[in-house]
Structure 1
Amino acid sequence: MKTLEEIREIFKSDKFATENFAVIEEAREKYAKCSVKLTDRHKNAMGGVMGGVHFMLADFAFAVASNCEHMGVVSVSSNITFLSGVKGDILYAEANCVKDGRTTCYYTVDVYDDKGTKCAAVTITGCHVG
């Protein structure tokens, strides 16, 4: 099993996530928790957190969870449902594998803030390509 530092090293080349301040908090096979400290760059014209931030963080958590031990999974379908506005200063995404089959996998990702508000629910279907 790779260490957290080794996993962070692998995923530092995920520029979109890392340049938007996404951080891997925890990772192991089929599970990951990532975070982003929110800044003005993450906000829309109304001052709320852009929905794309939720999705970026959820997609990153999925990528880490499904690839931290062996690279080769890509997402083929995602669905996000926004549940509440962000109330805190940090957003978290926690990805959990529900089913890992021979060619496809299915994950749920909970997105919540540091105040405990569940902000979005995401489901992602992935495909084993490598």
Structure 2
Amino acid sequence: MEHDAYLETVRSYFADDLFAMKTSGIRIVDAEPGSSVVAVTVDERHHNAKGGVMGGLYLTMADFASAIADWDENEINMTVSSSMQFTDMPRGNELIATCSAKRRGRTMGFYDIDICDSEGRLVAHGSYSLMHRPLPAN
């Protein structure tokens, strides 16, 4: 499948991911098998009590980006393990998460996610492990 068609198929499939897309406002910027880019414009709903970006936004971005990178229309995937390191306070109001596969095997996928701010500075790094299984037969 050509890149633009694949990207639109992924966007259509993940449109039902209401927490990431609707509640959090995350957008799918790019996708291909084994990699993805998602972004969000940070606003007041993303702030913690001290006015900083809530750590849960970074985790949601990383989880969503890894699910997209691991996606296969014939499988279901789920996060098995995740870790996040926060490296700096973001500048500006845009966060961009770039996910790439370290390895996608028959049943497990391993992904690295870098989250950068509007200036391109690394503000968080995540490592995710996902399990994927064939969809059950109907």
- TM-score scaled to structure 2, two decimals? 0.89
Q: What is the one-letter code of the residue matched to 1:32? A: S
Mapped to 2, the partners of 1:24 and 1:74 lie a distance apart of 19
Q: What is the one-letter code of the residue matched to 1:3? A: Y
Answer yes or no: is the 8 Å Cα contact 1:28–1:69 preserved in 2.
Answer: no
Q: Which of 34, 38, 48 in structure 2 is aligned with 1:30?
A: 34
Q: Give the alignment of 1:65-80 within 5 angstroms.
A: 65-67=69-71, 70-80=74-84
Mapped to 1, the partners of 2:73 and 2:88 lie a distance apart of 33
Mapped to 2, the partners of 1:62 and 1:26 lie a distance apart of 12
The number of residue pairs the alignment matches comes to 130
Runs of 4+ in 1 over 6 A off after TM superposition: none
Residue matched to 2:101: 97
Residue matched to 1:51: 55
Structure ID, larger Rg: 2
Answer yes or no: is the 8 Å Cα contact 2:70–2:104 preserved in 1.
Answer: no
RMSD: 1.2
* Unaligned 5+ runs, structure 1: none
What SS class does the counterpart of residue 63 from structure 2 fall into? Answer: helix
* Unaligned 5+ runs, structure 2: none
Q: CA deviation at 1:69?
A: 5.1
Mapped to 2, the partners of 1:103 and 1:7 lie a distance apart of 20
Mapped to 2, the partners of 1:68 and 1:91 lie a distance apart of 26
Answer yes or no: is the 8 Å Cα contact 1:81–1:120 preserved in 2.
Answer: yes
Answer yes or no: is the 8 Å Cα contact 1:74–1:129 preserved in 2.
Answer: no
